[in-house]
Structure 1
Amino acid sequence: MTLDTTKHAAQTPEAEQPWAELGLKQDEYERIRAILGRRPTGAELAMYSVMWSEHCSYKSSKVHLRQFGDKAPESDALLVGIGENAGVVDVGQGYAVTFKVESHNHPSYIEPYQGAATGVGGIVRDILAMGARPVAVMDPLRFGAADHPDTKRVLPGVVAGIGGYGNCLGLPNIGGEVVFDPCYQGNPLVNALCVGVMKHEDIHLAKASGSGNKVILYGARTGGDGIGGVSVLASETFDDSKPTKRPAVQVGDPFQEKLLIECTLEVFKEDLVEGIQDLGGAGLSCATSELASAGSGGMRVELDTVPLRDSSLSPRRS
């Protein structure tokens, strides 16, 4: 099998590529080709598909979300605002709280327990990446009609997933709400919120400047679960005629994440971190590109050195 390098891509402009299966529209694929001046390699196409997905780029809602930054009143209490992993607010005496809420709607519909559990895991990592110790979680939820069979399928797993993952991390669930309405039938809203506490001087940002910094990837090994989740799953409409994409729902490991929390806080304490970014739904593509673009240079990534849980994974699928 020929490795799809940039040179190979330039020499095979008419090679068919699965851009539609990755969630891209035809005009988006053509724009990618125009930007690169050639067709993308398989790995580049996969990166574009996740970074240009609704989940990562907010392409249909950014025009509205931008108003939160444009219209926000000036406040000395707001230490970190829009653009970072989470917001940070001064609460006095040198302390600050950081918090964020995030949805895991479609994954929770397909696989209620793991979809909701990994929603908690992801939001906890956002708080940790700010330099804070996570202290509590919350969960505002929206489901379809209470007496609908599908609600009875989804709700127990979602509640168990949120509670189970938080318990394994030692984080209390300090509040939440549940609303039932037929408009959420087939598309529940599963939101997870995490709160963290830190000193002002402990704030860390997703920005790394300077040359020669070592990039360390740590956590669970990369497996097949979660692949395709943000490029296709997060924006998909479900019906009975389509197969469910179970591999696209990530499988969490809360006990490993608890170790990562303590490990990361210890590394922060030793002042060894220039910049930090958690791996969200777009995995390596998101963490590496955002960390580099927010800094002052680029990043060389050796995909061959990524620890794998599935040895059959290729660079475009890791």
Structure 2
Amino acid sequence: MTSLETRTGTDRSGSSDPRRNHAVLAWGAVGLVWMAVSLRAAYGWVTSDRDFGPAEIMPGDVMPTSSLVALRVVEVASVVVLLTAIWFLAVKPWRKTREIRIEGLLVIGGIFGFAMDSWLNLYDFLFAFNAHSVNLGAWSAHLPFHNQGVPTEYGEALLWGLPMYVYFCSAEAALGLGVRARLLARWPRMSETLALAVMFVFFFVFDFIAENIIIRTSEAYSFVRTEESLTLWAGEQHQFPLYESFLVACVAMGFAAIRLSAERDPDGRSFIERGVHHLPRWSVQPARLLAATGYAAVVLMMLYHLPFNWLSLGGDSFADLPSYLTPPF
């Protein structure tokens, strides 16, 4: 068997010659770079006299009581969902096998991906955060490529912002894969393409409903500038660009794809982990974590942040915002 594998250039998982397969190292390198960027931004932020601290709430800047209560509910619920996702996707599987599976590693990757959130306002102020959210300012000025003309005196929501990088990524992917499994179990002759298409529609609808409930009940955030032809309720405080749900669905598909890759591999390794079994034992888990972080960063950047900025920068619909959501120009 060993000689046959050598002659055919395959390993146990069916991948190409492991001497030529450095996927885990390539993705790990990307993850290492993103971790360095994230930590550098965090360090610059927490040591900044200007940027680190709660966003200023102007005198007389009062939210409706119902919206403020809803905002606190969103924050608490988001933390609960985050902890639940960590338990079911990372901790519980680890307790069984003493190894964090790829879905658990992607949770960690999504948490590091939260550092990218300030890139929503990379070139212009496109996304407004409610100053009444629990926050300690924003780190946008400490990320690469930030336009110095864009204001940074706003508050990144910590209690609902970070969880979104888990429940709209890893957790939503898990739900979508559950939908796919039920479809294929109910209709065994359904094609994989159709099942995946239904899963994408599920992601789109799930995001559209969830985000609009959050926006309208809690006023947690607002899309400041959008492309009017692709926006519902254009010009209103609650205007909603349809490309938001489309891009979130693309991200969820990216997170689901990596899990499908692992499910289809005989060794349970996703394509970003190829070659990991040839690394020294002590480096296997760090390499997998770095690879998952790199993959999460690439998916978030290429499927959400860059296209969101590109579509919104040329937008001609501006939201009518209250003072607690007004961009600090």
Q: Normalising by structure 2, what TM-score?
A: 0.24
The structure, 1 or 2, with the larger RCO (C-alpha pairs under 8 Å, 6+ apart) is: 2
Structure number with bigger Rg:
2
Q: Normalising by structure 1, what TM-score?
A: 0.25
Higher strand proportion (structure 1 or 2): 1
